[in-house]
Amino acid sequence: MLIHNLSQLLTLAGEPQRGSELGRLKIIPNGAVLVRGETFEVVGTADELLAAYPNEPRFDAGGGAALPGFVDPHTHLIWAGDRAAEFEMRLEGKTYLEILAAGGGILSTVRATRAASLDDLKEQTRTRMQAMFRCGTTTAEAKTGYGLESASELLQMQALLELDGEGPLELAPTYLGAHAIAPEYKDDPDGYTDLLCRQMLPELRSWWDRHAAGRPLPFVDIFCETGAFSLEQSRCVLSAARTLGFPLKIHADEFDNLGGASLAAELGAASADHLVKTSAIDITALAHSNTVAVALPCTPFGLAQAQYTPARQILAADGLLALASDINPGTAWCESMQFVIALACRYLKLTPAQAVAAATLNAAAAIGRSDRIGSIEAGKQADLIVLSVDDYRHLAYRFGGNLVKHVVKKGKVFTNAE
């Protein structure tokens, strides 16, 4: 299939983009792309490709701009219920960490999620996945983390693997048994840390070998934060995970600076995420590593906080920056990477081009998949989106709607209703 009539084809060709490199979109005006099966085969101008492949079935993209499908590298996609009542409490002055310390917050979603059946969890999550896909996300990382006990965490993992199998949205799973201290260990956080290291992670490894043999191992993540896991506990859990072969991620500096970003760099984590209260020392450590800094602007926005990720400093230090939604029931119920881009341009001071690169190619790097997705290049998986507008900058400029008209996933075209 030859996709043509693309006003701008943002290829993002090349390697993930560090520091001042961020924002190299490699745009082909009046572009076209030849897709064979699930793969991009040739990328060029419409003139070249229409002449070279006269008999190829054609797909007229209607003059919209095209770019790689969004990759959302940080989501808490799977949960049951909602926390609308807590949102109201926060508006009245309670803080997120106060609500968590009182047994609400993450722990309230843990109660709802533990009580849900596999089918119910899948059903509630599928609705969100469909919304993300319509908004142009073609691959999303997805964390467990609302079980905080082995059986429930593994049930969430099973649901994620089954949902990934259903498609079309592709999932990169992450185990977040270390999302909060389990309620059963309320007064013994070291006890829960120990349980994670000695039992839950080894159980995850053997479960994976039995249920998902042959698939790459999932990421293991931890919430390194006041009221969740200390730096020392985070080191314990992530080191144990690394010994078992798991690639790593960390939630760091969302509310307090505990040093989690430097720990991520030291342990060779794929990414360090949130990074709001990140110090200059942490930024330097990240920039000297291959750990991707993932900014989640929906989270401060969702919490109505003034401070966002110091993205410009991360880029000035030559760091690798990506963007994600952090979709979750507490701080940021947002399915749209378009909205993430709109926020990033306003509050992280990224240019539209930088935000697009951070939401595609660099986001793919944050989940270790930039060799396969994140750009439109011969040999890569045929995931792209076509906008209803002819200039990609509308993505950053407008907000609150959906500018995606067609989503191409593994070579198959899905068109949004008008």
Q: Which residues are annotated as a binding site?
A: 74, 76, 83, 146, 179, 251, 254, 326, 328, 330-331
Smaller CB distance to ligand NIG: residue 328 or 354? 328
What is the footprint of ligand NIG within residues 19-78 (CB under 6 A)?
76
- The listed partner (Fe ion, ligand NIG, none) that binds 106, CB under 5 to 8 Å by sort, is ligand NIG
Are 173 and 179 in contact by the 8 Å Cβ rule? The answer is no
Are 292 and 321 in contact by the 8 Å Cβ rule? The answer is yes
Which tokens belong to 294?
Answer: 């993932």
Q: Which residue is listed with tokens 């917050």?
A: 105
Instruction: Please give the Cα distance from 156 to 160 (Å, whole number).
Output: 6
CB of 89 to ligand NIG, least distance (A): 13
Instruction: Please give the Cα distance from 328 to 309 (Å, whole number).
Output: 18
CB of 354 to Fe ion, least distance (A): 22
- The listed partner (Fe ion, ligand NIG, none) that binds 109, CB under 5 to 8 Å by sort, is ligand NIG
State whether residue 351 is helix, strand or coil: coil
Q: What x/- string results for residues 89 through 118 when contact with ligand NIG is judged by CB under 6 A?
A: ----------------xx--x---------
Q: What x/- string results for residues 307 through 346 when contact with Fe ion is judged by CB under 5 A?
A: -------------------x--------------------
Smaller CB distance to ligand NIG: residue 17 or 328? 328
Smaller CB distance to Fe ion: residue 243 or 307? 307
Sign of the C-alpha dihedral, residues 242, 245, 246, 247? positive
Cis upstream peptide for 168 (omega within 30°)? yes
CB of 86 to ligand NIG, least distance (A): 9
Pairing mode of beta strands 412-415, 27-36 = unpaired
User: Is 141 near ligand NIG (CB under 6 A)?
Assistant: no
Instruction: Please give the Cα distance from 414 to 408 (Å, whole number).
Output: 6
User: Is 328 near ligand NIG (CB under 6 A)?
Assistant: yes
Of 113, 110, 125, 116, residue with least CA distance to 78: 125
Instruction: Please give the Cα distance from 292 to 262 (Å, whole number).
Output: 12
Smaller CB distance to ligand NIG: residue 49 or 270? 270
What are phi and psi for residue 68, nearest 5 degrees?
A: -60, 150
CB of 248 to ligand NIG, least distance (A): 16
Interface contacts to ligand NIG, rule CB under 6 A: 76, 105-106, 109, 223, 251, 254, 299, 326, 328-331
